[in-house]
Amino acid sequence: MTDATTQIKDTVTSNDVVLFMKGTKDAPQCGFSSRVAGVLNFMGVEFADVNVLADEGIRQGIKDYSDWPTIPQLYVKGEFVGGCDIVTEMTLSGELDQLFDKEGVAYNKEAADKIREANG
């Protein structure tokens, strides 16, 4: 395992929710990262953010780690969930709520419902 792979594995296993993104949750550097961080922030989910732009090894390493070609990437309890499109679909269908419930991740159910109402 490369150092990047070890660092990624440590990050996804030591945090309940991790978003590998371009930029940070407070200052996203791309629209897709902004959308996923926005959903998590709006739903009140505590999550670790990893700025892939700050480290080329992590930027490539996370794509190899998940076998997924794009950023952002969301992990819950060490498991890869998906990128922007998948997280958006899961939010709108209620699957993300179910995943958080199953994994014991705290979130604001009312906020999740508001997202669905606004996009229904």
Token pair, residue 55, equals 């480290």
Q: Where are the domains of the chain?
A: 3-114
pLDDT tens digits, 75-111: 999 999 999 999 999 999 999 999 999 999 999 999 9
Q: What pTM value is reported for the model?
A: 0.95
List, as one string, the DSSP characters of 4-28. Answer: HHHHHHHHHHHSSEEEEESB-SSSB
Q: Which CATH architecture has domain 3-114?
A: 3-Layer(aba) Sandwich (3.40)
As annotated, the binding site for [2Fe-2S] cluster includes: 30
Q: How far is CA 43 from CA 23, 46, 96, in A?
A: 20, 9, 11
* Annotation: binding site: 30
Please write the tens of the pLDDT for every residue from 9-19: 999 999 999 99
What residues contact residue 5 under an 8 Å CB cut-off, 6+ apart? 61, 64, 65
Q: Is 75:12 a contact under the CB 8 Å cutoff?
A: yes
